[in-house]
Chain A
Amino acid sequence: MKQSPITLSQTPAFQPDSAPKHHPDDATLLSYASGSLSAGSRMLLQCHLACCEHCRQRVAEAEAVGGGLLDGLPQASMNTGVDDIFAKLDLLDSDPISQSEELPVKRPDWLPEWAEPIAKWLETDQNWQRLAPGISQIKLDQPEFCQDKAVRLLKISPGTCMPSHGHNGSELTLILSGSYCDETGRLCAGDVADLDPDIKHQPIADRDQDCICLIVTDAPLKFDGWIPKLMQPFFGL
């Protein structure tokens, strides 16, 4: 199994065209550092962190809080003493680290380099599935994402207007390419929208190119109006 990087501050930076301007909430960065995000949200954060120095710094701070908390914990009684451990060290040292390197994953053209963590979940010939006029999706519903309500990639044609919606839970959106505008501003590649449940928004894809984003929700979206409501089971969002 591939080891997660020990500290994210070591992650190489892949820059999108400009540094992201919309960041995850500090509460979300803290939960990332504490290891308490669902697998889908964690993957989304990994992508953003790979291209965002600002958030890598924040995560490092939240990890330092974790280190401080670890220091302050009471000691559990250990059944294994230092001598047993030395025996294991001898064993380890005589056995060179077996690198269970994962094969490099082929990244589709539309997926930026910093979004590499998504690539391994995409089947090689995975096709976009049409959802509604101007909107298609790829659903990531592997068992690893069982804690997430929905993990999906959406491709929105230029100028398409998404239905206005609020949320029961939290919704994280990462822009992979293209851009969209909503009530909170203009979001471009690398940006994350981390919306509180009380915020309603209506994203409109910019006109120049497709907008591809990764959306992770942990509770159903609430659509306004009867037509989007009818579409809700269909969207499955």
Chain B
Amino acid sequence: MEKVQSASQNWNQALTDVGVNRNREKFAALYQHFAPRVKTYLLRFGLSDAKAEELAQEALLQVWRKAEQYHASKAAASTWIFCIARNLFIDQQRSGRGKLEQSTDSYHEHEGLLNHHEQAGEDDNSWQNSKKHIEDALKELPLMQAQLVYKSYYQGKSHSEIAADLEIPIGSVKSGLRLAFKKLRMSLATDSLTGGESL
């Protein structure tokens, strides 16, 4: 893939092309980039490898089917795909046997994975820049706040579940998430991840 100013906008364009022309080449690129990441996302929730693979595929098939509804002015491709994956997970939870087996691992066990520049660099260097914003912002958070963000986004835990996990009051969970959200939001405001729309 050619290097242009923003890799994120490349994906936005790719997804737009899939919506407009049913462009299979662009879809293949989206699939290769996002399906393995969606699978990782679903694995973090404690889904089995087979189930995560199935849902990751389903997510990307929905991308194909619903691409016409995508508007780059409203959200970045990654955000749009994140929402599809999240909704699939919620539906799965709703229809499945209630709560999945809870993972209790913590942010720092995965910290190494989040700082995976060498892995990310392998497939596509142009990705570094746009990803860097959110990763940097996450790394700059105090460990406790990063932990809260991690448990919310990657383990699907509610405030009270996080409070029980970390043995801290619910009020601290909420104030920590509030502060973390504020900082992450600021890092995104200067980033192209929002599809160029000013926040």
* Contact surface of A with B, Cβ cutoff 8 Å: 1, 3-4, 6-7, 9-10, 25-31, 34-39, 41-42, 57, 60-80, 82, 85-86, 88-89, 92-93, 97, 143-144, 146-147, 169-170, 196-198, 218-219
Taking a contact as CB atoms under 8 Å apart, the answer to whether B83 and A64 are in contact is: no
Q: Which of B31, B41, B83, B182 contacts A85 (CB 8 A)?
A: B31
B80 near A144 (CB under 8 angstroms)? no
Q: Which residues of B contact A (CB under 8 A)?
A: 8, 22, 24, 27-28, 31-32, 34-41, 43, 52-53, 56-57, 60-61, 64-66, 69, 74-87, 89-91, 94-95, 98-99, 113-114, 116, 119-120, 123, 127, 130-131, 133-135, 138, 149, 151-160, 169-171, 173-178, 181-182, 184-185, 188, 191, 193-194, 199
Q: Could you pull out 5 A-B pairs where Cβ atoms are within 8 angstroms?
A: A10-B74, A27-B173, A31-B158, A71-B134, A72-B131
Whole-angstrom distance between the Cβ of B138 and the nearest chain A Cβ: 8
Q: Collect the chain A residues with CB atoms within 8 Å of residue B37's CB.
A: 70-71, 73-76
**In the complex, which of the residues A42, A65, A67, A76 contacts B40, with contact meaning CB atoms closer than 8 Å?**
A76
CB pair B134 A74 closer than 8 Å:
no
Q: Which residue of B lies closest to A199 (CB)?
A: B171
Residues in B with CB closer than 8 Å to A78 are 35-36, 39, 53, 56
Q: Which residues of A contact B174 (CB under 8 A)?
A: 25, 27-28, 170, 196
Interchain CB contact under 8 A, A97 and B65? yes
Q: Which residue of B lies closest to A91 (CB)?
A: B61
A contacts with B: majority SS: helix
Indicate if the CB atoms of A63 and B40 lie closer than 8 Å: no
User: Do the beta carbons of B41 and A73 come within 8 Å of each other?
Assistant: yes
Residues on A with beta carbons closer than 8 Å to the beta carbon of B154? 69
- Whether B52 pairs with A65 at a CB distance below 8 angstroms is no
Would B156 and A27 count as touching, CB distance under 8 A?
no
CB-based nearest B residue for A89: B64
> Shortest CB–CB separation between residue A75 and chain B, in angstroms?
3
A36 & B158 in contact (Cβ 8 Å cutoff): yes
Q: Which residue from chain B places its CB closest to the CB of A9 in the assembled complex?
A: B74
Inter-chain CA distance A42–B87, complex, in Å, is: 12
User: Taking the nearest CB of chain A, how far is it from the CB of B80, in angstroms?
Assistant: 7
| Min C-beta distance of B106 to chain A, whole Å | 15
Complex Cα gap A74–B159 (Å):
26
**In the docked arrangement, what's the CA distance between A83 and B163, Å?**
45
Residues in B with CB closer than 8 Å to A57 are 199
Q: A35-B90, A42-B90 known; 4 other A-B pairs, CB under 8 Å?
A: A25-B174, A67-B77, A69-B134, A71-B8
Determine which of A30, A63, A97 lies in contact with B83 in the assembled complex, contact meaning CB atoms within 8 Å.
Answer: A63
Chain B residues contacting A67 (CB-CB under 8 Å) are 75-82, 193
**How far apart are the CA atoms of A54 and B183 in the complex, in Å?**
18
The CA of A73 and the CA of B36, in the complex, are separated in Å by 9
For A36, the chain B residues whose CB sits under 8 A away are 151-153, 155-158
**B193 pairs with A7, CB closer than 8 A:** no
CB within 8 A of A9: which of B75, B95, B156? B75
Contact A71 B61 (CB under 8 A): no
Are B79 and A63 closer than 8 Å at their CB atoms?
A: yes
Knowing A70-B82, A89-B27, the reply to whether A197 touches B171 (Cβ < 8 A) is: yes
Given A27-B177, A63-B82, residue A75 in contact with residue B36 (CB < 8 A)? yes
Q: Which residues of the other chain, A, contact B185 by a CB distance below 8 angstroms?
A: 61-62, 65
